[in-house]
Amino acid sequence: MGSLPVWVLVFVLCFSCICDVNANVIVEGTVFIEGKFPIAKTDEDFICATLDWWPPEKCDYGTCSWDHASLLNLDLKNVLFLNAVKAFSPLKIRLGGTLQDKVIYQTEDKLKPCIPFAKNSSEMFGFTQGCLPLARWDELNSFFNQSGALVIFGLNALRGKSIQPRNIATGPWDSTNTASLIRYTLKKGYSIYGWELGNELSGSGIGVGIDADQYAADTIILHSMIQDIYKEVGVKPQIIAPGGFFDHDWYQQFLAKTVGSLNVITHHIYNLGPGSDEHLLERILNPSTLDNGADVFRNLHNVVKNSPNDMAAWVGEAGGAYNSGRNKVTNTFVFSFWYLDQLGLASTYDTKTYCRQTLIGGNYGLLNTTTFVPNPDYYSALLWHRLMGRNVLLTNFTGTRMIRAYAHCAKQSQGITLLLINMDRNTTVQAKLNFNGTFMYLHKHRHHHHRHRSNVSPLPHRKQASVAFREEYHLTPMGGNIQSQIVLLNGKELRVDSSGLIPALEPVRVNSSDPITVASYSIVFVHMPSVVLPACR
């Protein structure tokens, strides 16, 4: 073959230079924050995680990822597990999952042996009926009391129903066994934040469904039961339902029939598809996929807003990828991109609580299923819990689609907290701030405020008598590998010590006049105590 023309060689060389430059590109962007008023409000304890019923025999795609993470066999004496829950002070924990509608509860008057779940492919969900022993319920509540957890218990909503050929469960709910458990719980002095009726039975259901009218009637029975059993108690547990996938017409009909009987409406999210999807990683890193996650929040928010029922909306269970997630993806650093974006989207649409599937168990646990060591998402959840306050601020970012931006009033402190997620592997972003002239910069060591109209930074460019600082928490994966299960905070590995203590999450202090640098494949929480917005006063 002859030599290439000179113009071809020049093009190839120039293209190589462009690629090399792009591999380390730094771009500028602007975070716009509307500070006049909050657009939504979350619960103080917005972060929630789940514990499930799945026994060790639960397997997906030839892999069994649950080990001893079930409510029935989880090691409640593990010090690391206790410390991981206590670190939130408090953490909402939702007890439930697919098998909850096959659980019967041992009762004091009928102390028959509790027969555990057994694998049986001919049974719905692949397992026989299981049983919760009262002794195990005692152990669980002892742990919850010690850890300070707020407990939401998922009740069996199929008890007494008949399964019809179209996989529709008909007939009234038999609440006898549930009433026995609740009376025992109250007699023992166990604190339950909420009782949730059913799991994934809304609409056509998963495996089986219940019509909205019948589900509403069953929920009213639960409400009446709680009112009766807790009649001597001032603050009664929340009535929660249906713990299913959002179906617009079903949810609308259900809400219309439960006026005055429902405190919280819950829905589940597995919007990334099956854990077996080989393209799961690419989907997590795709801004369009993340954007589409807003649809359910928006639609449910509109249904709730237009309902005569006064209740809160929760995400009752969200694992992203169903069938136990995917090892080396949903338990690694990259999944914090999806998870934190979900927390941001959910809060924007007035979701009060977000329950992650799971606290431990499967391939999507906040904790490693066998060692109890925190996965990266645990630290993402803990930072959100400690830094992001209840008031949600309208926020958007211009500069690149690969940055996700959310801001809240700061939690238990002055100022605001900004979350920036950079999903680009080759681009570092330097972000400036624009508050549209709505903020006041609070000088430290002074007793009065000075208003600045700067659209870039809370600090003017002239020298100040006292320099303001912000606190930054930069999360990056070990070795730059987004599929690492080890996360670095400000360059230092987060590691539990030999006694099982959760590491301190310490920020770095940065001059508030400097742009916020968000490295490629990184997450940054920025607490700005000196920025005072009307929305946060």
Return the active site residues: 200, 317
Euclidean distance between the first and the last CA atom of the chain, given in angstroms as a whole number: 74
User: CB neighbours (10 Å) of residue 281?
Assistant: 18
Q: Which residues contact 380 (CB under 8 A, 6 or more apart)?
A: 336, 339, 340, 475, 523
User: CB neighbours (10 Å) of residue 312?
Assistant: 18
Judge contact between 373 and 365, C-beta under 8 A.
no
Q: What's the CA gap between 500 and 486, in Å, rounded?
A: 16
Which amino acid, residue 480? G
Q: Which residues contact 269 (CB under 8 A, 6 or more apart)?
A: 293, 296, 315, 317, 318, 319, 320, 342
Judge contact between 314 and 352, C-beta under 8 A.
yes
Which amino acid, residue 354? Y
* Neighbouring C-alpha atoms within 13 Å toward the C-beta of 398: 5
Pairing of strands 264-269, 312-318: parallel
Q: Which residues contact 255 (CB under 8 A, 6 or more apart)?
A: 262, 265, 303, 304, 307, 308, 309, 311
Q: What's the CA gap between 525 and 417, in Å, rounded?
A: 7
Q: Which residues contact 346 (CB under 8 A, 6 or more apart)?
A: 297, 315, 354
The residue count of the chain comes to 537
Which one, of 280, 333, 368, lies nearest residue 474 by Cα? 333
Beta strands in 144-296 (DSSP E): 150-155, 162-163, 169-170, 194-197, 238-244, 264-269, 273-274
Q: What's the CA gap between 298 and 292, in Å, rounded?
A: 10
